[in-house]
Amino acid sequence: MTAAIFPGSFDPLHNGHVEIVERAHRLFDRVIVAVLRNPQKSDPLFPSELREQLIRECFAHLRHVEVVTMQTLVVEVARSIGADVIIRGLRAVSDFENELQMAQMNQQLSGIETLFIPTGSTYSFISSRLIREVATFVGDVSLFVPEPILREMKERFRD
């Protein structure tokens, strides 16, 4: 049985992330979405518990997707849940430099390999940071995020 871990902040999860998970789901028996709880980021859009709960809701239609919260190194989480591969999405060449370094570090630390999935052109311009920015000024993000996230963002920015 093959398992892949897809780590990230997912603050919030958007359609670019969904596409990567759906494609990974076709390649692996299990896909574990690992939500980073970063105590240094004091003001997330959504707390990690809510992010985890919403992401679970977004992938309720995919039987082999699991969601966990992580507070330690990705390689440690991968080891503890039995993941063989780390999945990362690539939007543009600008992502690559940083991602390459991380992949090399993770490989050195634990032997785990990273699989890069290039984003389709439809969602390549989307990032969580941009979604947060647009939503802050009450812009319409409905084309970019799944329904449960949109619902929660409307609630968050209602006032």
- How many other β-carbons are positioned within 10 Å of the β-carbon of residue 88? 21
Nearer to ligand ADP, 11 or 30 (CB): 11
From residue 54, alpha-carbon distances to 21, 76, 114, 149 in Å are: 15, 24, 26, 7
Which parts of this chain interact with ligand ADP (CB under 6 A)? 8-10, 16-17, 20, 88-89, 91, 95, 119, 123-124, 126-128
- Answer whether 15's CB lies under 8 Å from 23's CB: no
Which amino acid does the sequence have at 61?
A: H
Residue 33 half-sphere exposure toward CB, CA atoms < 13 A: 31
Name the minimum Å distance from CB 8 to ligand ADP.
3
Least separation in angstroms between residue 52's CB and ligand ADP is 13
60 vs 44, 95, 119, CA distance in Å? 24, 29, 22
Nearer to ligand ADP, 64 or 132 (CB): 132
- Beta carbon of residue 116, minimum distance to ligand ADP (angstroms, whole number): 8
Measured from the CB of residue 117, what is the shortest distance to ligand ADP in angstroms?
A: 7
Shorter beta-carbon distance to ligand ADP: residue 10 or 46: 10
Preceding amide of 12 cis, omega within 30: yes
Q: Which residues are catalytic?
A: 17, 41, 91, 128
Q: CB-side exposure of 29: number of CA atoms within 13 Å?
A: 6
Q: Which is nearer to ligand ADP, 40 or 158 (CB)?
A: 40
